[in-house]
Structure formats: C-alpha cells, structure tokens
Chains A and B, each alone.
Chain A
Amino acid sequence: MATAADIARQARSRDIRGRWFLASPALVIIALASIGPLAIVMVYSFLAPGSYGDVIWKYSPDAWESVFLKRDIFDNSLSLADAHLSIFWRSLRLSFLTTLIALLFGFPTAYFIATRSPRTREIWLFLVTIPFWTNLLIRTFAIQELIRNEGIVNKLLIRIGMIDAPIQMMFTDFAILLGMAYVYFPLMVLPLYASMEKIDFRLVEAGYDLYATRWKVLRHVIMPMTRPGIIAGSILVFIPTLGAYVTPRVLGGGRNLMLGNLIELQFGQGRNWPLGAALSMTLLAIVLLALMVYVRFAARTGGHHHGQ
C-alpha cells in the first residue's frame, strides 16, 4: 500500500520529469545553436589545414601556435606574431572607442527621448531604429558616399571654401569608427532609454530642490540610475564591433584590418581553417575577458545595484 510519503515522492519526481520535458525545446535550441557550433570550431582549431581549404583530420597544435607566435621561415625560430597581436590590439582599441563614442552621443539622445511626452517618445524611438531595417552593407556604402574624396562632405567643404583639397577620410581609423558608431548607435540608445524611462523624474526635481545644479543632477542622480543601461548598451556595442567585418572591410579598406577581417581571411584566401577557428576562439576569449573586467569595474564604481 502506498503511504502518503510515497505518493508525495512520486508526485515530486513526476513534477521534475515534467519540468525537464517542458524545458526541452529551449535546451535543444541551446545545444544545437550554441554549444554545438562552438564545439565544432574548437575541434577544427586543433586540426591541420587542407591545401584547398577544409581540414585534414589529424591532431595539430600549429594553428594555436601561430595565433600568438610566428616561425621564421629560414631558421625555424619562434617569435611573437606581432601582426596578429597588433590586429588584436587595434580591434580592442577601435571597439572601445566606438563604444565610447556611441555612449557619448547615445546618452543625450536617450535622455532627450525619455523626457519627451509618451506619444512623441514612440516616434523618436521609431526614428532611431529605422536604419536597422536597411541592409548593413547599404548603410556602410552610404557612409562611404558621404566621406569619400569626391563625397558629399568634401565637396561641400570645398564649395564653401573651408578646404582646398579633399580630406582623406576613407580607409582611415576615423572612417571605421564613424561607420561602427553609426551602425551600433541604436544598440546603445535602446538599453539606455529603457533604463532612463524607468527613472522617476521627480527624483530629478528632488535633486534640483536639494541644491544640485544641472550637471550635478546628471552626475549624482541620473547617471547612477542609468548604470544598468550604460552597462547593457556598452556590452551590446562592444561585442559586435570587436568582431565587425563589413564596416572595417568597406570603410577601412584592405590595410586597416580588424579581427573579423583576419578571421575571414583564414577561411577565404588564407585557406587555413584551423587558424581561423583558433582566432575565432581567441576572439571569444577576449570578449569574455573584456566582459568580466567591465562588469567587475562597473559593479565596483557603482555598487548601487538593487539587490532584490
């Protein structure tokens, strides 16, 4: 005869099985879309390159070695792969600057939108997201049209006599920064807006009432309360820019490579899939590391998270 405890135990195990069953679609998707591909990339990075792309199924650490080190073709000695390292550094620097620029312009934009009346807010948000509906490549070429030597900006500046010769903007870091900041701007504005929208603007009044000037209200009331948005926006901009491919390719030309371009090169002309895979994993590691540093930093300076 089943006791009450037995029945309860059976009900509990049925409950747990039911939960796994209900969670299975999500688990399958995570396994297929996230862990699976990563595992493939990881395995490929330890194989040898085939001569026409693809891989030879034979263990080889060469790809990982050449991520960081290069072998001299004459005496076989190893030295730091400074070409790779400088591209890593470039990518980090440009991504960081892009994030900073997006934040610098995104913050006032989000604040402007959050302080409009609810109806107008929707219109402004709509306007901010419109560029997202257009193909990334087309938006990037549009920027090229603006800043190339015979482009609109240079023509205009020459026309009004501010310059005599066109300013070289294409194929510079400036062009890459401009393009990436523009492309990822909405990803900064939206989370900033989301956290600003939640701010009770009576708190801003309370700040003014307690002798804070506009700047001090911004610094001591609005910014601390927007911190979750700043963190989310920065992450959303930093990560995709670190691996950006189209923008540096079109606006930076062949000379100003970023990590994304370097990886693409290995899978394309380079015909070195294992190296591409190893570089991809390195990119992933850099992102994780940067995130950890950033979150730690944000939590320390802020320390104002609402522990619920």
Chain B
Amino acid sequence: MTHHSQDQFAIEVCNVGMVFGSGAHAFKALDDVDVAIRENEFFTLLGPSGCGKTTLLRLIAGFSYPTEGEIRLHGRDIAALPPHKRPVNTVFQNYALFPHMTVSENIAFGLVMLGRPRAEIRDSVDRMLKLVQLEALKDRRTGQLSGGQQQRVALARALAPQPKVLLLDEPLSALDFKLRKEMQIELKRLQHETGITFIFVTHDQEEALTMADRIAVMSSGHILQIGSPRDIYDRPAERFVADFIGETNFMTADVLSCADGTAQVALPGGARFAARVPDGVRPSGQVSIVVRPEHAELVDPGAGAHLTGRLAHVVYFGTDTHYHVLLDTGQRFILRRQNSRNAGAEPPEGAVVGIRIDNGAAQMLKD
C-alpha cells in the first residue's frame, strides 16, 4: 500500500528501510515500514528497545536519512530535507534543554532561529509558559528545575514554533510513577488544545494504551499491527503483539469450521468455542488462540465450563486478584478478577475448578 490519499495524513512513511553500517556489519533497523499518521492524531509507536521505533522517529525528525523509501509531510516528500527545514519538532528523551539559557530563552529558541519579530516571540513564550504552567520559573536556568519541570520546558520549547507534527521520544521514561501519570493526562490535554499531530514513542504498553488514538506495535524493524488501543489489546493478530501487551493466555486449538471471520474451534479438553479470525487468514488444522485473563471467570467444574483444572495459586494485587490454574492438559491459565466487597466465596488453592471464557473473548493469531 504505497499510495495513501494526500491530504488527510500528516505523515506518511512509505516502504522505508534503514540500514546502519555496511557489509558484514550491516544492521537493518527498519525493514519496509509503511504507516500513515492522520492529522491531529495521537499516534504511538510501541515496542521493546531496539525494535526501530526511535530510528523511525529520527527519520521523521530528519536526524538521519532513510536508505530506502519516502517520508511525506502533508503529501510532500521530506526524506531528504535537513531537520531545520522541517516543520517538525522533537521532545527528546533526556529533554536536551540548553543549560546556558533560562526557561524563557529555551522556549524562545526555535522562534528566534526562525527570525520571528521580537514582540511575537515574547507573546508566544508567554503563551507557552502559561500552557505548561511555568510562568513562575521563566527566568530560572534549566539545571535548577526538577525532572517534571524540565519535561514541561522541553514540551513548551518544541510546541512554541507551532510545528505540524510533534515527535516525543519516550519523554516520560525518566519521571517517577506519579509524575508520569500526571504528565500522561497533561500531554493528552496539550495535544487536544494545540491540535498538533503527536507521534509518541514508548516501550510502556500501558502508556500507549491510555494515551494513544492509534498504536503501531513494532518488533525488530517491522510494524506488526496498527490499530486503536482496543483493537491492539482485544484483537492482537500476532503472537508478539499479544505477548508484549498485557498478560495473555495462549492455547492451541483445532479448527472445526470457519465462517464470517469467526471460527469454531475445539479447545484443549474438548470444549467448543468461537474464536475471531484475523483479517486475511484462512484457518485450518491446529491454531493458536489467546484469551485475556480478565475475559474468563472461575466456575464450578461441569457447570458450562470450557476448561477444567486445579487452582494452583491465588495472588492478591489490591485492585484485583490473579488465579493461576493448572489445566488438566498441563498448561497454565491465568484469570483476573476485580476485587469487590460483595465478591463471592473464593475456592481454596488446590481445589478443582472450571473456567468459563466470555463470549467473543477468544482471538486467533496469524501464526
């Protein structure tokens, strides 16, 4: 799919490949990556370290140039433009604030370089300081700021020149848990208020699920799946995606019949169940299916149970409880139940239990 329609996309990455080094030491960081990011979208590139997500971000920023393919900004090929000619700004992982400048000077930098009139720069800086709530610190040096404050300065500095696209390279990874939660909401607010397209790189699946409009899951230089957080979480098409995001139960099952994107499969133990089939797959024989731990419940064995086994461990997490069940077939199955005051009695560890999978909760993988 090389041809995207031109005007509704902010960034189109078309068949981009990136090779570092040459000869025997060549390393393919990106392989035939194809993705289109919509205007005003909060788009997240999610994957483990070394999957190529930062490389892709740097290609969009212009810090390096792709060895193949095109990168388009509003339909115009920018793959060969240097960074200072792209209306794209970056929030760096370590913030990369200029230590020899004050907060205001940092925020003004891009506008000064663009040669904007002095009055306009002053107004923009004031507006940005207000937006990130740093008015009180505007004359401080950046070295005197806390991590969260530096983060805000970095955001304001990148937003001040009103870029078409804002790139964020794991901007929250250096913050502690509480601050990270705050900044997640803050970023969503900023994106909403500025209407700028955000491309956000992270290895934190929870961050991706809570913030993104759409997520691209990457692994070893490839994009495996693109979709809304709900798509990615509920309907993972690949084993890697299912495994990387959240906890999952993997099972093998035999396909009995298939129609309209749903297959009847026989679960281990013999029970029949309907599983969703990923697009473009014609399942047959033995397949892998996944079920999220919260999409199944413990029941008495026999009473409509799809699987039976022995309750091996009960792990209490505060908000919820995990039940580790050793199935009769020898595999493990994890269930998650929200804790509530009026929850029913809990079976003791070692008890024989049944597992009922929610309707529509089973998803077949491509492999």
Contacts and interface: CB of A to CB of B under 8 A. Distances in A.
A225 B100 contact: yes
A206 interface: yes
B83 A205 contact: yes
A6 interface: no
Interface in A197-249: 200, 202-203, 205-213, 216, 220-221, 224-225, 227
B84 A306 contact: no
Q: Which of B88, B92, B141 has the most CB of A within 10 A?
A: B92
B114 A206 contact: no
A216 B96 contact: no
Contacts of B61: 209
Contacts of B101: 304
Interface string B91-111: 010101111110000000110
Interface string A81-114: 0000000000000000000000000000000000
A203 B109 CA distance: 12
A207 B106 CA distance: 10
A210 B157 contact: yes
Nearest to B61: A209
Contacts of A208: 62-63, 82-84
Contact of B113 (A200, A205, A211, A306): A211
B161 interface: yes
B143 interface: yes
A216 B89 contact: no
Interface in A249-298: none
A209 B84 contact: yes
B113 A216 contact: yes
A210 B88 CA distance: 9
Contacts of A216: 113
A265 B109 CA distance: 56
Most chain A CB inside 10 Å of its own CB: which residue of B63, B84, B90: B84
Given A208-B82, A212-B84, A306-B143, A202 B113 contact: no
A209 B114 CA distance: 11
A10 B312 CA distance: 68
Among the interface residues B62, B110, B157, which one has the most CB atoms of the partner chain A within 10 A? B110
A211 B98 contact: no
Interface string B11-25: 000000000000000
A210 B63 contact: no
Contacts of B82: 208
A306 B100 CA distance: 8
Contacts of A212: 84, 109, 113
B83 to A, nearest CB: 4
A94 B67 CA distance: 51
Nearest to B90: A209
A209 B89 contact: yes
Contacts of A227: 100
B100 A224 contact: yes
A244 B99 CA distance: 38
Contacts of B157: 210
B101 to A, nearest CB: 8
Contact of B89 (A210, A220, A224, A306): A210
Contacts of B161: 210-211
B300 to A, nearest CB: 59
Interface of B: 61-63, 82-84, 88-90, 92, 94, 96-101, 109-110, 113-114, 141, 143, 157-158, 161
Given A208-B83, A212-B84, A225-B99, 11 more contacts: A200-B96, A203-B99, A206-B97, A208-B84, A209-B61, A209-B62, A209-B63, A209-B89, A220-B109, A220-B113, A302-B100
23 contacts: A205-B63, A205-B83, A205-B92, A205-B96, A206-B97, A207-B98, A208-B62, A208-B63, A209-B61, A209-B83, A209-B158, A210-B157, A211-B110, A211-B113, A211-B114, A211-B161, A212-B113, A213-B84, A213-B113, A220-B113, A227-B100, A304-B100, A306-B141
